Chain A
Amino acid sequence: MEALSNVRYLEFGEMIVGPWAGLMLALFGAEVIKVESGYRLDMTRRAGVTAQGGRVAAYIPGQPIPEGMITDTPVFNWVNLNKKGITLNLGEPKGVELAKRLIAISDVMVETYRPGVMDRLGLGYPDAAKLKRDIIYVSSSAVGYHSTGLEAKQLGYGPLFRALGGLGYLTGYTDGPPGEGLGRDDVLDGTMISIAVLMALLYRQKTGQGQFIDFSAREGISFLIGDSFMEPVLNDRDPVRQANRDEVMAPHNCYRCLDDGMDRWLSIAISTEDEWNAFCEAIGSPEWTKDDKFRDASGRWQNQEELDKLIEAWTINHSDREAMEILQRAGVAAVPSFSIDELWSDPHLAERGIFDVVDHPVLGAQPLIKSPCRLSVTPPNIKTHGTMLGEYNQWVYEELLGLSQQELSDLVAEGVIY
């Protein structure tokens, strides 16, 4: 059974934020119709290679796609699983008319163009609500739909959201620069949009009403550090970056493990006296529990730099997994700072079955990770590879909108469906 099989969702979104929101719901059975255009090819489709692996001429927005160019990539595939992709040129009045007909039969639409673009096309919320009274309409942008002034020109890339949202400032070494993050913030913003859509769907179930949702991607990143605003609010000062340190716990860090230049680390966090005693016992240093400097939590916290060195003298003689096993057996929270390759060969994740493969007609076998939302009755489900450009044109235009074969081929020839 699929949880969202009665939801039709129209996606006007490029890059990651919007498409990720659609993916989160498509995995639960929502029918996501993804609207693209060859004249405005998504950046994540632009690998610029041919089937033979050669380079093709650079893609120029507004121009047709260069001959022989592959428009499918592993990133695009992942982010657009289970979706039904169509091409539609919104630069043509007939294209806008077709978009309106699609809106009229949809439950949800999400658009991530710059604020104002959809309104100028006649596809803004007021227009959409006339076509479909109870539509749930999300406008997502870098700083939000209702923004004015110079800041409204903010470009929308994940690493910029991390900087503007405050998470960057709080991440990293105390004496180093703030921490950046590439890509992950777009994903999280996308997930937040899917949450907002679901809340609106629940409200619609109850009242029959749709609504407009204004989503700001930079606010989404501030949402991940909500409690960090309490420090300036209560004490008029900013919190600081503190690498792996904790306000209360010590030891609380990553420790270098035995490796052959592979950069392996074990995270250890100790909260209670029981854990501390078990830890000292497990690593063969029970005398530390008697040491005045480490005897209680505040002593360990005060002297944590010294303690870290002592601990690392033990971890450096063990592999990260071996050290994890020893300490977990003793009831101590110790987990390697897993690198991506370690995760793909991890027995726990293998048994949990988080890895999957989908066959793509152009790209071949594509490895993936499943949704982390494991629902027992309606589990997430990967049904089809990332949609190819215009793959569902015939189905959507003929079956859903009732165009004839002739009308469809005319619209293709006119560049409306491209």
Chain B
Amino acid sequence: MVAGPFCTKIMADMGAEVLKVERPGIGDEARRRGPFPDDIPHQERSGLFLYLNTNKLGITLDYTTPEGSGILRELVKGYDVIVEDNPPGALSRLGLGYEELSELKPGLIMTSITPFGQTGPYRDYKAYPLNSIHSSGEGYVTPSGSSFRDRPPVKLGGFAGEYEVGIYSALGTLVALYFRSCTGLGQHIDISKQEALTISCLFDHLPYAMVGMTVSRLMPRVPETGVVPCKDGHVMCVSLEETFWQRIKKLMGEPEWAQADWYQNQDRRREHAAEVRKGLEEWAGNRTKRELHEGALEEGVALSPFLTPREILQSELLKSRGFFAEIEHPELGKVTCITAPYHLAKTPWWCERAAPLLGEHNEEIYCRRSGYTEQELATLAAQGVI
């Protein structure tokens, strides 16, 4: 739904030919998720699907049928990489495991993405994106600095956890592609969502591994580090060393309350956390996100506003950097999407086509490239294979 498609989107947006294989009639689960224009569900109008599948070709194929798996075995010969997110062992049972396919296609790279990996006691456990975030520790510490003691830990916003997994899947796949470009050798990559997510928590793992301290979202911190409400939203303030605090005081205009001796020492400020927070909130409460941010940029203060997606879309700086692109979609018309955070001068982000409609490239792939007749295609469709 998200992790695998994001991994292949990263490749497709840089020019790889990605062929998306969906179940006939049903398609990717993402097609049933919004946002939809005017909130009216439609399998060709999902914003989630549209974003995650730019530049891909799309076919339908039920590879769990004998005919279908035969067709897939033929198709594999034309591709360098397979990215799949079936439960461990599912493809092997269909004769489509790495061992079998790499015999058909020497040098094949196969990236398998599962909640807990291909081995170990939890390998067959089920997990949706919510469970994966929480399986990794990244949920337990979120939202950090929380004051809601009676509330549960939460996931990251949107599908961020799944995107993280997609990024590590892309990393593994690209390393394998580079190795193959040098040696011709392929390999199988085992990506566990739990592991991909937990590696990002190194600042939470270290205190435990070193001194047995379990980081929790409820732990208090240096009082001037954290979310501060302001006139029209919230800002994030960071203070790592004493110089950070000195600059914050300067930005606040050296207020009376911050001059006492004990405010000049991080450990003592912790003891008076409530007073520091009160002072900060009074100061920020009269100012907008924009005012606070501009002041912080001038003074070199580590403070930034929490921007909403809509505010980000309006950023002139991001527009000038080419962070947005317009895509022409047959159902949705012109749609703005973000591009990528890496801007490669010679091989820039690229959009040749919008996400595929369900089965859009069946004729192209099956008839023109694989030599099926239109009659055969119709028969396979009637059998529910395509």
Residues of A at the B interface (CB closer than 8 Å) are: 1, 3-4, 6, 24-25, 28, 43, 74-75, 78-79, 143-144, 146-151, 153-155, 157, 159-160, 162-173, 176-184, 187-189, 191-196, 198-203, 205-206, 209, 211-217, 219-220, 222-239, 241, 243-244, 246-249, 252-256, 263, 265, 267-269, 271, 324, 328, 331-341, 343-344, 347-349, 351-352, 354, 367-369, 371-378
Contacts and interface: CB of A to CB of B under 8 A. Distances in A.
27 contacts: A1-B179, A150-B298, A163-B304, A164-B304, A169-B306, A170-B160, A179-B144, A192-B167, A195-B342, A198-B178, A199-B342, A234-B35, A234-B37, A239-B35, A244-B155, A248-B32, A333-B126, A335-B135, A337-B134, A338-B136, A343-B205, A344-B209, A352-B192, A367-B210, A372-B195, A375-B175, A378-B175
Given A181-B142, A231-B47, A373 B171 contact: yes
B307 to A, nearest CB: 6
Given A265-B153, A339-B214, A24 B171 contact: yes
Contacts of A254: 134, 139, 152-154
Interface string B310-334: 1011000110110100000000100
B257 interface: no
A118 B79 CA distance: 41
Most A Cβ at <10 Å: residue of B37, B148, B154: B154
A152 to B, nearest CB: 8
B64 to A, nearest CB: 17
B342 A213 contact: yes
B137 interface: yes
Contacts of A164: 304-305, 307, 312
B285 interface: no
Interface of B: 2, 6, 10, 14, 32-39, 47-48, 50-52, 116-117, 119-122, 125-146, 148, 151-160, 163-164, 167-168, 170-172, 174-179, 181-183, 185-192, 194-196, 198-210, 212, 214-216, 218, 225-227, 229, 234-236, 238, 240-241, 294, 297-298, 300-310, 312-313, 317-318, 320-321, 323, 332, 335-338, 340-347
A24 B131 CA distance: 26
Contacts of B183: 1
A142 to B, nearest CB: 9
A346 to B, nearest CB: 9
Contacts of A180: 143-145, 226-227, 236
A160 B345 contact: no
A341 B214 contact: yes
A238 B199 contact: no
Contacts of B240: 43, 157
Contacts, number: 465
Contacts of B176: 3, 375, 378
A375 B118 CA distance: 12
The binding surface of chain B is classed by DSSP as mixed
Contacts of B321: 144, 146-147, 216, 219
Given A169-B307, A225-B160, A235 B38 contact: yes
A381 B280 CA distance: 46
Contact of B174 (A195, A239, A348, A376): A195
Given A224-B163, A239-B309, A265-B153, A196 B50 contact: no
Given A166-B309, A168-B236, A226 B163 contact: yes
A178 B196 CA distance: 24
Q: Specify which of B128, B157, B178, B227 lies most central, judged by the most chain A CB atoms within 10 Å of its CB.
A: B157
A143 B293 CA distance: 14
Contacts of B120: 348-349, 351-352
Contact of A238 (B51, B185, B309): B309
Given A153-B300, A239-B309, A338-B134, A372 B345 contact: no
A211 B235 CA distance: 36
Contact of B344 (A159, A172, A199, A348): A199
Given A180-B226, A334-B131, A28 B175 contact: yes
A4 to B, nearest CB: 7
Given A75-B203, A225-B160, A227-B158, A337 B152 contact: yes
A169 B157 CA distance: 8
Contacts of A243: 151-152, 154-155
A361 B131 CA distance: 39
B168 A191 contact: yes
A213 B308 contact: no
Contacts of A187: 199-200, 202
B236 A211 contact: no
Contacts of B323: 216, 219, 222
Contacts of B117: 352, 374
A289 B181 CA distance: 55
Given A171-B155, A172-B154, A219-B338, 6 more contacts: A144-B343, A188-B164, A192-B342, A199-B342, A335-B132, A337-B152
Closest 5 CB pairs of A and B: A170-B157, A230-B47, A373-B172, A179-B143, A196-B342
A252 B132 CA distance: 12
A206 B341 CA distance: 23
A335 B125 contact: yes
A78 B204 CA distance: 13
A247 B10 contact: no
Contacts of B204: 340
